[in-house]
Amino acid sequence: MTMPQPTAMHEMPVRKFLRLLDYLDKVGIDQRAIAKRSGLNIDDLMAADDDKMLPGYRYSSLYELAAEAMQQLNIAVPWGSGIGSDVFRFMCYSIINCQTLEDALHRAQRYQEMLYSMTGYRIELIVDAGTAELIYHFDADKISPEFLPDSWDRTEFSDTVAKASGMRVWHAFMGWLVGRDIELSGLKIAAPEFSYAYSDSVNSVMGVPPQYDCDYTAICFPAECLRYRTVHTNESLEAFLRNAVYALISQDSRPASTGAAIRSLLAKSGAGALPSFEDMAENLHMSPSSLRRRLNSEGTSYQELKDHYRRDIAMRHLRDDKLKIHEIGELLGFLESSSFIRSFRNWTGLTPKQYRSEFIEEQ
């Protein structure tokens, strides 16, 4: 029996899932086992239309399990600046208490410099007048042949993919750190163009067309952004790391600045009593009417964002049998179990008990 899923705010086409699974198969990792662990049926995916959309959190789970499996090969993961790996995780731990974006980037730079001989990638922040450049140094010779199977259609352009995906992760991660979109003024890639379709994809995500065959790889943005304060805590970092890929998919879906800021501040507030609409507007330094207009323009509302946030926390705890259903409700601030059950059914179409039972069935 297939478990119904709630409507996702961010979705991914089936072809993205299949491309990742195909890559795992080519590098010798059991694609069926990884798909099953992430709650996906590989046969259903292969039978589906390539353009069918699935929830982004499903892709996030699949990617993170894939990164975990690749990491077990004892080789640094070269794609996406190592997102999903322990190296990325501990870098996040090292910078989470920094007060500004500039402080966080400088500390991340020092962290990555120490590990460069092992990973083959590091960032460098350069500020010239009113423009900041986050340079991404990447040593293509560090990519293990195990990650570049001859049958993979991107092997010839692995340098381009590694650099572009690294910049995409850093752009989205900076936005997550400060809870708002960082508008780029340039994207330089020191590698040849892969394809027009790939360039269009990068452009649509990062909001600026990539320039290829540059002297170095970097994203360019206004230097004033470096003064932005970070909005996260150790607790919200843990929530981010449990689903980092989805958090960054959400962050780099443009335009997402207001929704992204609210999601970050909700995570910072914990799972219980959430800020009122007026308090959230004050936290974002805008009037309630301005906040309402911005959310309307993004096709969402504060109530919807709160519901998605609580839903995701509830689903995560229901997939783990450590807490009883009434304890999950209490964690989310519901005084009565019946209120939690009713709300969860509105969010997902299932009761908490049904969701937990069907998740166990699918494992």
In a domain, 34, yes or no: yes
Residues 184 and 330 in one domain: no
The 8-class DSSP code of residue 2 comes to P
Question: Quick one: how far is CA 220 from the chain centroid?
Answer: 21
| Model pLDDT for residues 274-295, shown as the tens digit of each residue | 889 998 887 766 789 988 998 9
Residues 307 and 281 in one domain: yes
The answer to whether the CB of 220 falls within 8 A of the CB of 188 is yes
Quote the domain boundaries for residue 1. 1-74
H/E segment holding residue 132: strand 131-138
Residues 190 and 138 in one domain: yes
The 8-class DSSP code of residue 286 comes to S
In a domain, 262, yes or no: no
Residues 236 and 342 in one domain: no
Please name every residue paired with 123 in a beta bridge, in sequence order, or none if there are none. 136
In the chain, % helix, strand, coil (3-state, to 5) comes to: 60, 10, 30
> In angstroms, rounded to a whole number, what is the distance separating the alpha carbons of residues 323 and 251?
30
Identify the sign of the CA torsion 208, 79, 102, 179.
positive
By the 10 Å C-beta count (0-12 exposed, 13-18 middle, 19+ buried), 23 is classed as buried
Residues 342 and 280 in one domain: yes
pTM above 0.75, yes or no: no
Could you give the 3-state DSSP secondary structure of residue 186?
strand
| Model pLDDT for residues 75-134, shown as the tens digit of each residue | 556 566 677 677 888 889 899 889 899 999 999 999 999 888 878 889 999 999 899 999
What angle, rounded to 10 degrees, do the helices at 158-178 and 257-269 form? Answer: 60
Of residues 8 and 19, more confidence is placed in: 19
Residues 85 and 143 in one domain: yes
Could you give the 3-state DSSP secondary structure of residue 55?
strand
In a domain, 263, yes or no: no
Please name every residue paired with 124 in a beta bridge, in sequence order, or none if there are none. 135
H/E segment holding residue 13: strand 11-13
Average pLDDT over residues 27-34: 80
Residues 133 and 211 in one domain: yes
Structural domain total, the chain: 3
Length of the chain as a residue count: 363
> In angstroms, rounded to a whole number, what is the distance separating the alpha carbons of residues 293 and 300?
10
